[in-house]
Amino acid sequence: MLQKVWRWFDERLQIAKPIRDVAEHQVPTRSASWWYVFGSAALTVFVLQIFTGVLLALVYVPSAAEAWNSLQHLNHDVTLGWFLRAVHGWGSNFMIAVVLIHMCQVALFGAYKFPRELTWILGVFLLLLALGMAFTGQVMRFDQDAYWGLGIGASIVGRVPLAGKPLLWLLLGGPIIGGATLSRFFALHVFVIPGLLIAFVSLHLLLVLKLGINEWPMPGRVVRRATYVREYHELIREDGIPFVPDAVWKDMFFSAAIVVTVMACAALFGPFGPRGYPDPTIIQTIPRPDFFFQWLYAMLALLPPGIETPLLLVGPVIAIGFLILLPFLSGEGEKSWKRRPIAVVTLLLVAIAFATLTRLAAYSPWSPVMDGWSGDPVPVRYLEGRSPLERQGSLVFQVKQCRNCHSIGGSGGRRGPALDRVATRMTHDQLVRQALQGGGNMPAYGKNLNPAEVTALVSFLETLHPTNQVPARDAAASAREGDAR
C-alpha cells in the first residue's frame, strides 16, 4: 500500500532516480574517513539553527524597547524557552567551530585545488556569513554587551575616511543605536544572511556532487589541470564506494554526536544572557564580545594606535582577499600536508595567534580593573612594621586608584607592571618622576597628587621589595656623595 502511494507520487514527481543517483554517487574509498565528516556536521548544525531560530522567533520581539524583556520571558516563563535559547546559542558556537575545523581540514588536505576552487571560494563566503550570523545574533540578545558591541562596530565604521558618516547612519538606521538598529540587524539575522546562506550552501553542495569529494591526499600524487579530472574518475572507478550506505554512516554518527553535544552544553550551561538591561545610562558595565570575537577584542586593544585605523580597514580586505585567491595561488601541485610545510606552518601560526589572542581576552590585561582600588585591601604583610608615613602612602596608593592598573599582592589591574618589587627597579627620584609625569603608557598624576601625597606614596613604594633584596639606588648620586666626602 505504502509502495503504491510512493509510486503514485514518483510517477508525477519523477524524483526517485535523481535522489538515488545523488545518494549513491561514488566516493573514493579512503575519503570515507572520519576526517571528512565536518562539512556534513556544519550542515546539520545549520539546520538545527534554522529550526531553533524559527522557534525563538515565535516569542522574541525585535524592538529595542521589548527585546530584552522578551528574552527574560523566554528564559523564565515560556516552558523550556531557556533550553531553546541555549541550544540556539551553543549551536552558534559549534557552528563556527565546526566550520573552522572543516576549513582547516580542507586547507590541509589541499581540497581547494583544481577543480574545486569555486567550492572553496563559496566556503569562504559561508564562513563570513556564519560570522555575520554570530555577530548579528549577539545583537539579537539585546543586552549591554550587545549595545556596546554595536558601539564598537559603529566606531570601526566611523573610522572609514570620507564615507564614515553615511555608512555609520546606514548601519545604525539613524544617528544613534536604537530601535531602528535592532530592527535592521533582526532583518539581517533572520532574512538576509540566512537566505544567502541557504543559496550558498546549496551551491557549495552542488559543487561537491558535481566535482566529487576530494580524494585522500597521497604524497607524490600531484594535481595537474590537464590530467586531474581523468585521474579522479579512474580512482573512483577502481577504488570507489557508493556514498550511501558505505560512507554516510560516519557523517551520521558525527552529526548526531554534535547535536547531542550541543544539547548537553545547552542543558548543562544554559542560555547566554541576556546580561544587563540595555540602558546606555547604566555605565557600570564591562562590555565583552562572544567567544568567537574575543580574538578581535584582544587585537583592538593591542594594535599600535598609530596604525590601527589602516589595519582595521585594510586588514580584513587583505585577509579575505588572500583566502579567495588561495586556490589560484596554489591550484596545482601536491595535496598532502606532508609535502606542504609552508601551508602547515601558516595554518599553525594562524591557529596559535587566534588561540593566544582569545586566551589574552579572557583576562584582558589591557583593561583597568574598575574596582581594583576599592575591591581588595593592601596586603597586611606590606604594612607590618611600617612608619605612619609609609602607611599613609599605602592609603594614597589605594585612593588614587593606582591599583586599577597596578597589582600588588596578586590583585589589581595588569595594565601596568605589578608593584610588589617596584623598589628594586626604581630609585626614589625615578618613582617621584614616574608618579608626577607618567610616561610609558602611564598618565601623569602631577595635578592630582599634592606634595605630601607624593612623599607618602613614594615612601610606601620604596618599601616594596623582598626583605633580602636591597632596593635600587642611584649610583650617580652615591658617587657624588663619595666625591664630596
Partner 1 sequence: MSTDGLSRRDLFAKIGLALNVLAAGVLATPVLGYLLSPILRGDRGQYKRWLTLGGLDEFPEGQTRLATFRNPLAGVSDGDTDHIPCWVRRIQGEEFQVFAINCAHLGCPVRWFSQSGLFMCPCHGGVYYEDGSRASGPPPRGLFRYAHRVEEGRLLIDAGQLPTLSTTAKRDDGDSGRCSADL
Within 278-337, which residues bind partner 1 (CB under 8 A)?
A: 278-281, 283-287, 297, 300-301, 303, 305, 308-309
Nearer to partner 1, 424 or 448 (CB): 448
Question: What gap in Å lies between CA 235 and CA 31, rounded to an integer?
Answer: 11
Question: What gap in Å lies between CA 456 and CA 448, rounded to an integer?
Answer: 14
- Tell me how far, at minimum, the Cβ of 77 lies from partner 1, in Å: 19
Site string for partner 1, 25-64 (x = CB under 8 A): --------------------------------------xx
- Tell me how far, at minimum, the Cβ of 477 lies from partner 1, in Å: 29
Question: Which residues in the 348-407 window bind partner 1 by CB under 8 A?
Answer: 366-368, 370, 373, 399-402, 404
Beta bridge partners of 222: 334
Nearer to partner 1, 246 or 308 (CB): 308
Among 132, 173, 242, 270, binds partner 1 (CB under 8 A): 173
Nearer to partner 1, 337 or 366 (CB): 366
Decide: is 445 part of the binding site for partner 1 (CB under 8 A): yes
- Interacting residues of 163 by C-beta distance below 8 A, sequence separation 6+: none
Q: Single out the residue of 93, 24, 32 nearest to residue 294, CA to CA.
A: 93
Nearer to partner 1, 96 or 299 (CB): 299
Task: Count the neighbouring beta carbons within 10 Å of the beta carbon of residue 131.
Answer: 18
Q: Residue 59 carries which side chain, given as an amino acid letter?
A: V
Nearer to partner 1, 10 or 279 (CB): 279
Task: Count the neighbouring beta carbons within 10 Å of the beta carbon of residue 303.
Answer: 15
- Tell me how far, at minimum, the Cβ of 402 lies from partner 1, in Å: 8
Candidate ranges 98-106, 266-274, 382-390, 441-449; the one touching partner 1 (CB under 8 A): 441-449
Decide: is 452 part of the binding site for partner 1 (CB under 8 A): no
Question: Which residues in the 59-78 window bind partner 1 by CB under 8 A?
Answer: 63-68
Among 182, 266, 408, 426, binds partner 1 (CB under 8 A): 182
Question: What gap in Å lies between CA 112 and CA 268, rounded to an integer?
Answer: 38
Rounded to 10 degrees, the C-alpha dihedral 193/137/326/156 comes to 110
Question: Which residues in the 213-272 window bind partner 1 by CB under 8 A?
Answer: none
Inter-residue long-range contacts of 451-456, CB under 8 Å, 24+ positions, other chains counted: 453/396, 453/400, 455/389, 455/393, 456/389, 456/390, 456/392, 456/393, 456/395, 456/396
3-state secondary structure of 470: coil
Q: Single out the residue of 478, 21, 16, 34 nearest to residue 248, CA to CA.
A: 34
Nearer to partner 1, 157 or 201 (CB): 157
